[in-house]
Amino acid sequence: MVSDAAQQALSILRDGSQFSWYVIPLFAFVVYVYAVEIERKNWSLVFAGLAYWGMDWFNEIWNALVFHFTGYAPVWSAPGDTAFLILIGLNIEICFMFAVAGITFGKMLPSGPKLKVLGIPNRLFFAVLGSVFCVAIEVLLNAIGALVWDYSWWSPGTPWLIFLIGYLPFFLISFWVHDMKTVRAKMMGVGALYTVIVASLLVFGVILNWI
């Protein structure tokens, strides 16, 4: 039996009639953010941003697969108003937000990776801090019904899984890519991540139609 929220999300999944024109300025904003960093040749931020965004795609794919295999609900769904629902838990607005979030958080990093904050390596400190912030935002979104959680182990009462699985890897991988020594290494790291993402979308989405 499919949950009410999952059924509602399915009813608008990849429905082009949902389109609203505000998507265009949102897309332009994302392009502008990356164009500014590319113009400055700030490759660490560019690839950190792409890594963060890629991790969201990775999470959204396995989340959609959870729904396919359970037949009940994904871990999270986004059944509310949207200009386009890409996957059952990923709408176009969330997608654009994550596209720039990695750059935003990367800008907060101290220039020296070895610097410590309160005795903690600063990359880990900001990864934990950023993850806690994002979990708090998700709890608020859940409270207003924008994000729906149908499982008791993924809920405001059990936020540690959202922290450990939902966000901490985003920050750790994004910061890891940010600190890679060469642009080539950054490209290879992000390229490997996106290869997995594109292959998964093709196999699970286009070919098998599971997501």
Adjacent-strand bridge partners of 77:
148
pTM for this model (two decimals): 0.95
Q: CA dihedral defined by 65, 67, 70, 75, rounded to 10 degrees? A: 100
Nearest alpha carbon to residue 5 among 184, 202, 141:
141
Burial 156-178 (b: 16+ CB within 10 A, else e): eeebeebbeebbbbbbbbbbbbb
What number is the average pLDDT over the span 119-123? Answer: 94
Domain count, the chain: 1
CB of 39 within 8 A of CB of 45? Answer: no
Q: What is the pLDDT of residue 112?
A: 86
Reported as a single tens digit per residue, the pLDDT across 142-197 is 999 999 999 999 999 999 999 999 999 999 999 999 999 999 999 999 999 999 99
Q: Which residue is associated with the tokens 């265009």?
A: 24
Q: Which residue is associated with the tokens 């929220």?
A: 5
CA gap 50, 171 in Å, rounded: 12
Sign of CA dihedral 198, 203, 206, 211: negative
Reported as a single tens digit per residue, the pLDDT across 39-64 is 999 999 999 999 999 999 999 999 99
Residue ranges making up the domain that contains 176: 4-207
* Token duo for residue 175: 């910061």
CB of 106 within 8 A of CB of 49? Answer: yes
Q: What is the pLDDT of residue 113?
A: 87
Q: pLDDT category, 31, cuts 50, 70, 90? A: very high
